[in-house]
Amino acid sequence: MARASLAVMGCLWLGGCVNNTVATQNTQLEANGLASRPPPRRVTPTAALASARLIIVHRTTSAAATLLLASPQALDPSCAPLGDIAVKVTSAPDHGTVHVAAGSAYSNFQPGDPPFMCNARKSPATLITYQAAAGYTGPDVAVVRIFFPDGHAPTIRYDITVD
């Protein structure tokens, strides 16, 4: 059951970032100036994400903003972490920087998942952010692999447009 919860949290959050806008990005950021509210999300089927070799997420940001790419979590029903989440930047962006830091964020578990109640408050998370190089506008790409405690390790390509 923990494995299903990990897949839902990691993949739904990653897939759900697609609908994020510049307006919500700037209100999300709290830990070290990062996220305080969850972004609007589009739910993507967990099975499709869990079996995908590469997940592609399209994001848009302003040149001066810090973009929250993802905040993966692995939580038990009491909202305690199930273990460490490791992130490897497998392809760094050409026109910016990806940062990985410990922090906290709201989760996005489905009703019926054991840690669903964790959605009501922030829980420990690994924050993955992008910052464009000073003065840069245009497309950029970053690829990360996220290693969850249960062993699944999705690769996510972020196609980023910097306005």
Confidence band of 53 (pLDDT split at 50, 70, 90):
confident
How distant, in Å, are the alpha carbons of 23, 40, 68, 99, 125 from that of 140?
A: 20, 23, 15, 15, 25
pLDDT of residue 33 exceeding 80, the answer is no
Question: Quick one: pLDDT at residue 20?
Answer: 36
- Residue 53 CB contacts under 8 Å (≥ 6 apart), including other chains: 155
The highest-confidence range among 19-28, 40-49, 129-138, by mean pLDDT, is 129-138
What domain range is 68 assigned to? 2-162
Report CA 7 to chain centroid distance, whole Å: 13
pLDDT score for 52: 64
Instruction: Answer whether residue 140 shows pLDDT above 60.
Output: yes
**pLDDT confidence of residue 26:** 35
Query: Which of 3-17, 125-139, 147-161 is least confident?
Result: 3-17
Out of 38-42, 80-84, 117-121, 128-132, which region has the weakest mean confidence (pLDDT)? 38-42
DSSP-derived secondary structure letter, 59: E
Q: Does the reported pTM lie above 0.85?
A: no
**Residue 8: its pLDDT value, please?**
38
> Domain count of the chain?
1
Measured from the Cβ of residue 151, the count of other Cβ atoms closer than 10 Å reads 8
